[in-house]
A and B are shown apart, each in its own frame.
Chain A
Amino acid sequence: MSAIIRTEGLSKTYGRRSRGIEDVNLRVDEGEVFGFLGPNGAGKTTTTRTLLNFLRPTGGRAEVFGMETRRESVAIRTLVGNLPGEFALEDRMTGERLLRIFARLRGVGDLRYAYELAERIEADLKRPMRRLSRGNKQKIGLVQAMFHRPPLLILDEPTGGLDPLVQEEFLEIIGETKAEGRTVFFSSHNLAEVERVCDRVGIIRAGRLVTVETTDTLLNKSFRHVSLTFDEPVDPEPFEKLPGVGELSAVGTSLSFTLYGNLDEVVKLAARGRLINMEYERPSLEEVFLAYYGDHENGGS
């Protein structure tokens, strides 16, 4: 698979005091849905705006579709549909008028797909922007990013302000986009949706990319929630002393804890008693994400 987005040592600083991103090495392949996670101020928006040449990198390089972002930005943007983090338009404009202008800018003659998208996510194209709520503006933003079927979608917080039904429809559209072989790169705080649609996830922290994994790998490599139920109360102390066991609680005949280490030792220790039930759950992506910002020795990689 060819790389649609590739960055090498990409860095952006804002003067001496303000950190942007540092040494970001990222690769997004054709046809994948890539989730970009991080808290506010981590560098997600800086990364996406650098890819679109809104910001000039202070170090490293970035390529989109094999084209260098600084020199060939216009050609890149021909192939990209972008939804900025803070989507704003002129107050008096309607969504329909915006689409017509953007269609003219992109040389798109047929707006049928735009109207189809608008209908699916219930976007009101007739009302001026000043009369739309945040969620309804966001819908217009999604339509303008997607109506020209770009090979690459770059979406910053795409479901912000959307109601659950529209979020669901949006995720279906992302699925269709992937099925068409197109690529999606989006940042989000909605970890449940990232977990659901993304093939790979990158986590950025304090301007640095701390990990890039497939969603499954990330969840599988991470900690587990373990719950053991015995036929009688057991001493929790031996379990507490096992390496990688944390947040242990003993309630009646059950022990619950988070396991960052080897399951084999837990099973061997549990086998000394009469084990009735054992539950062993993967964490949610949210928990994995929080672990990267927490204080655990063995949290993720």
Chain B
Amino acid sequence: MKSQRTEERRPWGTLVALIIHTTRLQLRSVVVWGVALGLLNLLTVASFPAVEDQSQGLNDLVESYPPEMRELFGIGEGTDLTKIEDFLAAQTFNFLAPLALAFFPILASAGAIAGAEERGTIDVLLGNPVPRWQLVAGSFIATALSLLGILVILGLFTWVPAVLMDIDLSIRSTVEAVLNLWPLCTFFGGLAMLCSALFHRRVLAIAIPGAVLVGMYFVDALGNTVEELEDARPFTVFYHYASAIEDGIDWVSFGGITLVALLLVLLAALTFSRRDIYT
């Protein structure tokens, strides 16, 4: 007896269905992450007028910090806190936003395979005619799309208050600032997906990319002032991240980081296709 299925299944139909399914599951997280980070930026923007009045004193204070400390907090040489772009860069986009937001794709990717194995939900899903690589790709694409959703919310919470408060923040700078977070975050999402495929334990799929994230940040930040770390900086993602809100997006770096993220996902798909699934 023929099973109840359409005569011709579209080969990519399962991938699209997985992307839609995963994106819907992540919708609540998108709102939570977007609003949480957005509120941080809203408060930062809202505090700018007060800071602007004392900007020279603040600039002098920041200049007095040790260079290593300034680098750690994303305050580069020549940062002018009287400009909203530099202020936002120093407060969020160079430090807090990338470190915090990278955990969204890390958690999502860790949960896609290893987490699904631990929850026991993966057998049900893969009982369907879904190639394993599509589970990996679909989860990653969905997470990348969800990430864009978070960035849209973040951008709105940054630009709209600036407009309302008559702060001279261009929409272009805002878009470039938030968009520039995307490849960096997807890189760590790709790394988490690879760990999820390799280790089938969610805690490792979170801890390893998390450690790499923090480690890379420190190496890049301290490499500016610590000679022994200088040569290692180009191997960190943060070296190529730059400050888009101040200088615009470096599209070569944007594409390069995205490409590495895709390679990590490809490795994850190959790894997952070859191993046992444990529940």
Residues of chain A whose beta carbon lies under 8 Å from any beta carbon of chain B:
49, 52, 54-56, 74-75, 77-82, 84, 86-90, 92-93, 101-102, 104-110, 113, 141, 144-145, 147-151, 180-182
* Distance to closest chain B CB from A43 (angstroms): 15
The CA-CA distance from A82 to B18 in the complex, in Å, is 19
* Distance to closest chain B CB from A106 (angstroms): 5
The CA-CA distance from A145 to B3 in the complex, in Å, is 12
| A54-B5 contact given A86-B279, A101-B17, A104-B13, CB 8 Å threshold | no
Determine the chain A residues whose CB is within 8 A of the CB of B224 once the complex forms.
none
* Distance to closest chain A CB from B20 (angstroms): 8
Beyond A74-B130, A105-B14, 18 additional contacts (C-beta under 8 Å) are A49-B277, A52-B126, A54-B277, A78-B9, A84-B279, A86-B279, A90-B25, A90-B119, A101-B17, A107-B5, A107-B6, A107-B8, A107-B10, A109-B6, A144-B124, A145-B127, A150-B3, A151-B1
Is the CB–CB distance between A82 and B127 below 8 Å? yes
Q: What is the number of contacts between chain A and chain B, taking CB atoms within 8 Å?
A: 98
Is the CB–CB distance between A86 and B120 below 8 Å? yes
The CA-CA distance from A144 to B17 in the complex, in Å, is 16
Pick 6 A–B contacts, CB within 8 A, sort by A. A54-B126, A54-B277, A84-B124, A89-B121, A90-B25, A144-B124
The CA-CA distance from A109 to B7 in the complex, in Å, is 11
Determine the chain B residues whose CB is within 8 A of the CB of A104 once the complex forms.
13, 17
Is the CB–CB distance between A56 and B276 below 8 Å? yes
Is the CB–CB distance between A149 and B4 below 8 Å? yes
Place the interface of chain B in its size category: 20 to 34
Does B47 reach chain A (CB closer than 8 Å)?
A: no
Closest to B15 in A: A105
Closest to B277 in A: A54
Does B247 reach chain A (CB closer than 8 Å)?
A: no
Is the CB–CB distance between B129 and A75 below 8 Å? yes
Is the CB–CB distance between A89 and B1 below 8 Å? no
Chain B contacts with A in 1-55, Cβ cutoff 8 A: 1-6, 8-10, 13-14, 17-18, 21, 25
Determine the chain A residues whose CB is within 8 A of the CB of B129 once the complex forms.
74-75, 77-78, 105-106
Does B230 reach chain A (CB closer than 8 Å)?
A: no
| A141-B130 contact given A56-B276, A84-B279, A149-B4, CB 8 Å threshold | no
Closest to A154 in B: B127
The CA-CA distance from A81 to B124 in the complex, in Å, is 10
The CA-CA distance from A181 to B236 in the complex, in Å, is 60
* Distance to closest chain A CB from B268 (angstroms): 18
Is the CB–CB distance between A101 and B9 below 8 Å? no
Is the CB–CB distance between B13 and A107 below 8 Å? yes
The CA-CA distance from A105 to B9 in the complex, in Å, is 9
Is the CB–CB distance between A79 and B127 below 8 Å? no
The CA-CA distance from A246 to B13 in the complex, in Å, is 63
Is the CB–CB distance between B124 and A141 below 8 Å? yes
| A77-B128 contact given A105-B14, A106-B5, A107-B13, CB 8 Å threshold | yes
The CA-CA distance from A82 to B123 in the complex, in Å, is 9
Does B215 reach chain A (CB closer than 8 Å)?
A: no
Does B256 reach chain A (CB closer than 8 Å)?
A: no
Is the CB–CB distance between B4 and A113 below 8 Å? yes
Determine the chain B residues whose CB is within 8 A of the CB of A181 once the complex forms.
1
Determine the chain B residues whose CB is within 8 A of the CB of A77 once the complex forms.
126-130
Determine the chain B residues whose CB is within 8 A of the CB of A86 once the complex forms.
120, 123, 279
Is the CB–CB distance between A79 and B3 below 8 Å? yes
* Distance to closest chain A CB from B138 (angstroms): 11
Among A80, A90, A107, A149, contact of B127 (Cβ-Cβ < 8 Å): A80
* Distance to closest chain A CB from B121 (angstroms): 5
The CA-CA distance from A56 to B25 in the complex, in Å, is 30
Closest to A52 in B: B127
The CA-CA distance from A110 to B6 in the complex, in Å, is 10
Does B255 reach chain A (CB closer than 8 Å)?
A: no
Closest to A82 in B: B127
The CA-CA distance from A145 to B18 in the complex, in Å, is 18
Determine the chain A residues whose CB is within 8 A of the CB of B120 once the complex forms.
84, 86-88
Interface centre among B8, B10, B130 (most CB of A within 10 A): B130
Does B57 reach chain A (CB closer than 8 Å)?
A: no
Chain B contacts with A in 101-121, Cβ cutoff 8 A: 119-121
The CA-CA distance from A259 to B120 in the complex, in Å, is 46
* Distance to closest chain A CB from B35 (angstroms): 19
Determine the chain B residues whose CB is within 8 A of the CB of A182 once the complex forms.
1
The CA-CA distance from A108 to B25 in the complex, in Å, is 22
Is the CB–CB distance between B128 and A84 below 8 Å? no
Determine the chain A residues whose CB is within 8 A of the CB of B121 once the complex forms.
88-90
Among A55, A89, A147, contact of B277 (Cβ-Cβ < 8 Å): A55
